[in-house]
Every structure is written in C-alpha cells, then in structure tokens.
C-alpha cells in the first residue's frame, strides 16, 4: 500500500514519471493491479481537480498529429499544461504508430508543460475506454489544464471519446467534390466544432468551400439546448502553417464557459459518469460469463435451450439467479 500512496502523491505533485507509471498501472489487466489502480484513481478523483477535456477525431492523414503539435504548443505558450492521450483500438494492428506519433509531435513532446501518452496496445474497446477514463482522471489530478483525447475516425471509438470529453472536435480535410466526404450524420451531431484543416496554399479555396458546406449542414441540425447560438460551428485552420488555431481555441473557450455558466458542463459530466458506471457493470457481468462457473452454465443452459428442454426465458432467469448467488464451489 505505501507504494500506492507514494505514486498518488507523485501524480498529485505533477511528477510526470509518476503519472506515466500510474497510467501503466491502470492499463494493466492483472486483478491485483486493478485493485491498486482503483485506489489510485479514487485518490486522483478526490483532489477535485478538473481539466478541460477535448476530444479530437479525424481520419488518418487529416492532420491530427500536426494539429495536436501546433495547438498543444499554442496552449503551452499561454502557460497552460496539456496532456495528450491517444485512443486507437486498432493500435495492436498498427504497432508502429506509437513511435510515429511521438516523432511527429516532436516539439510538444519536448515541452515541459506537455505530457503525451500513446495508445495502449489493446484491441478491446471496453478496456480502452476504461483505461482512457482513468488516465484522464490521473492527468487532472496531476494538474493539467487541458486533456486532449485523440482518436482515429473509425468505428465506435469516436462515440466513446465523445462520451469522455467536454468538447468534441472533428478535424476534416478540404473536399474536392461537393459531397460531405461521407462524414456520418451521427458524428456531425456529436461535433461541437468542425475544423477544416489544411486551409493553406493551393488547398485554401477548397477548404473555404468545405467549411461553407459544413456550416450549412450544421445549420440543418437541430440546435442543442446546451449550446449558445451559432454552435456547433465549422472553422478553417492550418495546423501546418499554425493559422486559425487561436480563433479556434477562443471558440472552444466561449462554448466551454457558456456551458459551465448554464450548468450544462456539470450535467454532461454527471450523465457521462452514470453511463460509465453502467458500462462497467455490463462489462463486469459479461466477464463473469467468460469464466467458470458462468461460462459452464452459459454453455449448459444454451444447449438445453437449443434442444428444447428449456425455454430461453427460463434459462436466462436461471443463469441470472446463478450470478446473483454464485455457488461456492
């Protein structure tokens, strides 16, 4: 136990090595590590410190790393401490991307006010979600002002990140044609700001057109009661030329302040916490079913349902009763 207290104290004192070790602990699936990780995260949450949590999504190549580097440096230049967490459920497949990210965010990774944590090599989205939530809590306890959570625009990881953050940013590239690049309506609805990147050089006219298209599309979405007029917005930026980043940050602050002043920020976090709790319970129940005696019962009862010996409802009720009172053997 003293090790945990030391680690928690190190995190709370803002020691980056302690923070890195603490995140490694929350990433571990070992049951004894889990117990220690939970104590650590509780200690972190007890500090009551909060950061602005920014989610950032976009397809590979859109410029996420470049954006994080420029935007992160803009924030640290203003004296803010910035933590970057990556969520990439496919990182087990693209094992090399971790190194790539670090080298692409070279300036930011050398910045003493920044902390960059690449994605863990985990394929299971539930595990990634939990690890990221806990890592956010640890970064907040370590005194970071902004936590940027980056995800590649694939599958459910966007929904997960949107459910972790205060503001969700969608980075897109200038489109050649007139269609909205197949960005799904659901993702548009999650976005608080759509940032059309690469608005520089030859790409600038296309970026401006794309921005206008998205601004039009956003106007067609129903205005959300938790937003001031004019949001969600589409803006042009150039991560490479470091252009438009300051106005984008101002928009983020305006929206965050408005939501805080109107009680929406607290309500959003409360609703998220409740969903995380329910997701954890679901995960926990599912994991019981992958272990004996749950797994055996699931197989046995399943076979009885198939053979017609038991109705599906009765079999399910028996299984649930078994989980409620597991046999001691």
Give me the residues that bind ligand GDP (CB under 6 A), please.
58, 60-66, 104, 197-198, 200, 203, 238-240
Least distance CB 109 / ligand GDP (angstroms):
14
Residue with Cβ nearer ligand GDP (60 or 247): 60
DSSP 8-state secondary structure symbol assigned to residue 180: -
**Cα–Cα distances in angstroms (integers) from residue 20 to residues 7, 16, 65, 241, in the given order:** 10, 6, 20, 31
Least distance CB 141 / ligand GDP (angstroms):
28
The closest of 122, 130, 181, 129 to 157, measured between CA atoms, is 129
Instruction: Write out the E strands in the chain.
Output: 52-58, 82-87, 114-117, 146-152, 167-172, 193-196, 233-236
Residue with Cβ nearer ligand GDP (138 or 207): 207
Q: Report the residue closest to ligand GDP, judged by CB.
A: 63
Least distance CB 32 / ligand GDP (angstroms):
36
Least distance CB 1 / ligand GDP (angstroms):
41
Least distance CB 131 / ligand GDP (angstroms):
21
Least distance CB 99 / ligand GDP (angstroms):
13
12 - beta bridge partners? none
Least distance CB 253 / ligand GDP (angstroms):
22
Residue with Cβ nearer ligand GDP (32 or 202): 202
CA distance 136 to 45: 10
CA distance 321 to 314: 10
Least distance CB 152 / ligand GDP (angstroms):
8
Instruction: Write out the E strands in 94-247.
Output: 114-117, 146-152, 167-172, 193-196, 233-236
Residue with Cβ nearer ligand GDP (29 or 154): 154
DSSP per position, 243-311? BSHHHHHHHHHHHHHHHHHTTHHHHHHHHHHHHHHHHHHHHHHHHHTTSTTHHHHHHHHHHHHHHTSS-
Residue with Cβ nearer ligand GDP (106 or 292): 106
Residue with Cβ nearer ligand GDP (58 or 118): 58
Residue with Cβ nearer ligand GDP (138 or 236): 236
Quick check: 208 and 236 in contact, CB under 8 A? yes
The closest of 164, 173, 194 to 85, measured between CA atoms, is 164
Strand pairing class (167-172; 233-236):
unpaired
Place of tokens 């692409």: 104
Residue with Cβ nearer ligand GDP (2 or 61): 61
Quick check: 72 and 104 in contact, CB under 8 A? no
């Amino acid at each position: 136990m003293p090790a945990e207290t030391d680690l928690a104290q190190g995190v709370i004192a803002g020691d980056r090595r302690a923070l890195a070790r603490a995140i490694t602990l929350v990433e571990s699936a070992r049951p004894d590590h889990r117990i220690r990780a939970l104590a650590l995260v509780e200690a972190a949450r007890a500090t009551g410190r909060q950061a602005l949590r920014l989610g950032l999504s976009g397809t590979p190549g859109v410029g996420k790393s470049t954006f994080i580097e420029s935007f992160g440096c803009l924030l640290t230049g203003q004296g803010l401490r910035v933590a970057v967490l990556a969520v990439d459920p496919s990182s087990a497949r693209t094992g090399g991307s971790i190194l790539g990210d670090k080298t692409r965010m070279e300036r930011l990774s050398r910045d003493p006010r920044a902390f960059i944590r690449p994605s863990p090599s985990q394929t299971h989205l539930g595990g990634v979600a939990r690890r990221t939530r806990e890592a956010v809590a640890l970064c907040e306890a370590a005194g970071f002002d902004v936590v940027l959570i980056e995800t590649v625009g694939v599958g459910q990881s966007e929904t997960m990140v949107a459910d972790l953050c205060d503001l969700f940013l969608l980075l897109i590239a200038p489109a050649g044609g007139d269609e909205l690049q197949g960005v799904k309506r659901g993702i548009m609805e999650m976005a608080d700001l759509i940032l059309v990147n690469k608005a520089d050089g030859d790409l600038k006219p296309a970026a401006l057109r794309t921005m206008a298209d998205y601004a039009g599309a956003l106007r067609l979405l129903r205005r959300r009661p938790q937003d001031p007029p004019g949001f969600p917005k589409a803006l042009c930026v150039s991560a490479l030329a470091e252009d438009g980043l300051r106005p984008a940050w101002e928009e983020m602050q305006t929206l965050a302040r408005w939501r805080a002043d109107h009680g929406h920020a607290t309500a959003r976090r409360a609703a998220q916490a409740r969903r995380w709790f329910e997701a954890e319970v679901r995960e926990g129940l599912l994991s019981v079913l992958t272990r004996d005696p749950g797994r055996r019962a699931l197989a046995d009862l399943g076979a009885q349902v198939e053979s017609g010996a038991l109705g599906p409802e009765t079999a399910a009720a028996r299984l649930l009763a078994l989980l409620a009172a597991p046999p001691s053997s």
